[in-house]
Every structure is written in C-alpha cells, then in structure tokens.
Structure 1
Amino acid sequence: AVFLGVLLMSGGVAAATTVSQRTDSPASLCIAVALAACVLAYDAWLKSTPLGPVAMGACRSLNVLLGATIAGSFQSLGQGPPLHVSVGMGLYIAGVTWFARNEAGTSNQRQLTAAVLLINIGLATLITFAGLATTDIDQNATTSVLMLMALIVVSINRRLIAAIRDPRPERVQSGVGILLLSLVMIDATLALAASGETAPALVIAALLIPALVLRRWIPMT
C-alpha cells in the first residue's frame, strides 16, 4: 500500500511538472509538491495530533488548487473561484476529520459540536460561492443550486445532530459516512453552479452509484 501510494504520488508530481512546462508557470508543480508533502506529513506525523484535521483540510484545499493550476499562474489561483472553493472544501474536510477523530469509541460531545460548526462554516463558504457563481448565469439556476445545497445541508446536519445527542460509535460513523458521500453531491452542485450546465453535474453525481456499491465491501470509516 505504501509503495502504491508513493508511486501514485510520484506520478502526480510528474504530471504536474508537465503541466507547468506547458503553461510556462511553476504553479502546478509547486502545488503538487506542497500537496505531496502535506499528505506525507499527515500520514507520518500529524494524523494522531491536534494538527491532523488541519493537515487533512490543507490536503483537500491543495487538491482543489492543483486542478485549477491548468489556468497557469499563481495570480489566477488567488483570485475568484479556485481560492473560494479551496477554502470552503478545506474547512469542510478539516471538520469531517475532527468529527471522525474518535469514531471507534465514544466521542466527546463538545468536540463533535465544534467539528459540526466547522463543517457548516465550510458549507456556508461553498454556498456563497455557488450563489455568486450562478448569479452570472440566470436566476433559475441560482434557485436550483441553492435549493440543492440546502437539501445537502439539512441531510448532513440531521445525522450530525443525532450523533451529538447520542455519540455512540455507530451514530458517529453514520454521520461520517453521510459527510463523505455528500462530497459527491456537493461537487456536482458546485459544477452546476460554475458551468450552468446539467451534464457535468450529472456525471459527477453518478459517482454516488459506485460509492454506494463499494461501501458494502470497503468501509468508508
């Protein structure tokens, strides 16, 4: 598993090097190296420390930014959608990691509550992006996107509140499961917000099918 992970990471850095050469900008390579370093730091040292959720959130933020480096410059990353989405996703994943910290045992209710607050700050950041992005497309798209995000938020928080009230492992793990699966729908909704087209969103949403099938054999938590 370690060998495969290193191999895939090396392949990612190599691909980023190619992108940097073609765009004549070091952005892709720099972000890829930072992401690889963050992943290694999390697995080797930070996973069981208070910085674990921060590191995992940083990994997700850098992952979003890495995809955006196809635009080329660092300046394009620091303005508008890439930075906005990366911050929202980073906060969300940091909250998820914090929420799942003691999922195998009885979790602390205060910790769960704080994690849920962080998750919702991340969601609010993403909702703000979705609303702003669709405003430039049309009013109907804005309404549809915001309704979808509202449904996601309600679905997530219903499970999380239940876990806070009764922090047994099965409740917390159920909450973590819905948080991870909801990432697919969040991504699909953001794609709809950014493009105004349903086809990309439906393709992303379809990834829920293999995720639901595979969870029967591969635990999500």
Structure 2
Amino acid sequence: MSTLSTVRNYAELMRVANVFTAVSNVWMGMILSTGHLPGWTAVGVTATSVLLYLAGMVLNDLYDAELDTKERPERPIPSGRIPISHVRILGWGLLFAGVCAGWFVSRVTPTLAPGIISWWLAGLIVAYDIGLKRSTLGPAIMGGCRFMNVLLGLSVGAEQLQWGFLPADQLILPAIGMGIYIWGVSWFARSEATESNRKLLAMSAVGATLGIVFIAAMPFVQEAAASQLRLHPWGWVALWVLVAGTVLRRMVVAILQPWPKHVQRAVGYAILSVIVIDAAVCLGYAQPYWSLAVLALVAPAMLLSQLFKVT
C-alpha cells in the first residue's frame, strides 16, 4: 500500500473534516472569555481539543467494527484497509496525548481548568464509544462532549471554578446551547444508515433548533451578556434566524424524504454548521476579525468533506 493511500485511509478513519468543528468550539470559547486567541495557550488548548476529538472518532470505529461490517463495509476497519490492532493503539494513544496536552496547558496558565476538563471530556468519550452510544443516553453524552469542548476554551479565562471544572465567572450559555444542538443532531443521525423515522427526525430537528435558541437568547437572559454584546439586539436576532434557517432547510428536506442520502447530507451540513455557529457568537462578542478567523475554518472543513465522509 502506498504512503498516500495509507494517509487517506487514516484520514477517513478519523473523519478529519469534522475536527475543524472541534477547533472552532475552543476558539470561540477562548475568544469569548479573553477577547482573543492567547498565543501559545491557544495552541495548547487547540491541540488538546484536536487530539481528544480524533481519539473519539477512532475509538468510535474501533468499537463499531462489528456493526460497520454489516452497515458500512466500505469503512477502513471492516474493509481491511487498516488493521484493528493499529486502530486500538492509535485511538488510546490519541486519548492519552489529549489529556496530557490539557494538563500541560494547566501547568502554563493560572488555572487547573483545562486539565480537569480534559479528564472529564476523555471520560465522556470513553463512556460513549465503549458502551453507551446505542443507548438513549448516547446523544446526550455526545452533546456533553461538545459542552465540555466549549468549556475547554472558556476555561482559559476562568479565574475560579465551581464543581471542580465549570468556569464560575464566564458566560456558559454558548456551551450549553452547543451541547443541546449536538444532542439534537445526534438523534437526527441515529439511523442515518437506513430509512429514518419522520417523527424522530422532526423531534431531533426541534432539539437542534432549541440549542441555537439557547445561544441566541444569551443577551436577553444574562445581564453580563447583554452589556458585552457588540451588535444591535435586532441584528443579533436576525443573525440567528439566518443561521437556524440554513440548518433547518436541509433537515426539513430529510424529514420529507427520510432516505439515508438526504439524512446523511443534513447531518453533515449540521455538523459543519458548528463552525458558523461559533463564528456568529464571536461576531456578537468580539472584534469582527476574530469571527472571520473562526469562519475561515469552514474552507478546509468543506474541502476535506468532499474527500472524506463526515458521518
């Protein structure tokens, strides 16, 4: 097997297009909590997020290998393109490296939060991939992973913690909203390999929309968020109507025609829309160029999504 083919196989295994959504999460968190991307600290937090996200993707396929043999035989493991022993070493190695990176960030910043959150995030990843992904708790745990990922970025600007990991002095509604959004998208993708149930798809779309509404409501329910908002309130509302509309349009198509092709397309767009959501938050609470920096992550994500499946 050529080196290029090997790289392509591992890129497909790790769903590399999706990793930019994890990066946008922590960038949004750091920009929201500090007003910028704080140099080498931002590099460390980004590395932590990327390593843990890739670990989750690899371990997901590792523990789904038997199911993928039936439903997705073209995937790297069931097709025999990557030995399962290599996948096991890679997945657990990435997870360990991600936790180490989180604690390294804690050593060079005034707060232990990045290290603590990396532990919690790693624990949720393992719980999801090994045993709970098929249970009713699966989508909630997936949402919890995104919640923790945004907190990872927010934690850089935290002066104190509550409950051992939660920044006590930061606006955390974007983290909650992102968690709810991914919870809804995960339910939407629940049976994407076969024809989906329209009722489940509709309820999942409502859940994803609720996550966006949570974020959009931030300046109207938190005094600190209202005072820091840089946009006119009506401009802020219009921005979120536009964002929600673009995501829902594809979900509605999938609800009306619940075939795997349409559902997978809607799920893929919803996942990549995480970057747009994060950029929209930054537009409301930071200098515009930081929003553009986050939005720029769409380009490599879209390019790689044309080469490798995002679901």
User: TM-score if structure 1 supplies the norm length?
Assistant: 0.89
Bigger Cα Rg: 2
Query: Which range moves more in the overlay, 94-103 or 18-27?
Result: 18-27
**Aligned equivalent of 1:159, options 239, 250, 270:** 250
**Aligned equivalent of 2:184, options 79, 95, 119:** 95
Gaps of 5+ in 1: none
Q: Answer yes or no: is the 8 Å Cα contact 1:88–1:126 preserved in 2.
A: yes
Q: How does 1:1-221 map to 2 (within 5 A)?
A: 1-70=87-156, 71-75=158-162, 77-81=167-171, 83-129=172-218, 133=225, 136-140=228-232, 142-195=233-286, 197-221=287-311
Say what the alpha-carbon RMSD is for the aligned residues. 2.1
Q: Answer yes or no: is the 8 Å Cα contact 2:276–2:295 preserved in 1.
A: yes
Q: Answer yes or no: is the 8 Å Cα contact 1:27–1:72 preserved in 2.
A: no
Aligned CA distance change for structure 1 residues 218 and 130 (closer, same or farther; 3 Å): farther
Q: What's the CA shift string for 1:123-149, capped at 9, x where partnerless?
A: 100111266646534454x44443222
Q: Answer yes or no: is the 8 Å Cα contact 2:231–2:284 preserved in 1.
A: no
Q: Which amino acid aligns with 2:228?
A: D
Q: What's the CA shift string for 1:38-64, capped at 9, x where partnerless?
A: 001111111122111011001010111
Name the CA distance, whole Å, in 1 between partners of 2:285 and 2:188. 29
Name the CA distance, whole Å, in 2 between partners of 1:154 and 1:41. 33
Q: Which amino acid aligns with 2:142?
A: M
The percentage of counterpart residues that share the same residue type is 34
Greater fraction helix: 1
Name the CA distance, whole Å, in 2 between partners of 1:94 and 1:49. 13
Name the CA distance, whole Å, in 2 between partners of 1:193 and 1:139. 6
Aligned CA distance change for structure 1 residues 79 and 112 (closer, same or farther; 3 Å): farther
Query: Which range moves more in the overlay, 160-169 or 24-33?
Result: 24-33
Q: Answer yes or no: is the 8 Å Cα contact 1:56–1:94 preserved in 2.
A: yes
Name the CA distance, whole Å, in 1 between partners of 2:230 and 2:152. 29
Q: Answer yes or no: is the 8 Å Cα contact 2:196–2:260 preserved in 1.
A: yes
Q: What's the CA shift string for 1:69-127, capped at 9, x where partnerless?
A: 2124214714441x211110100001111100101111111211111111111010011
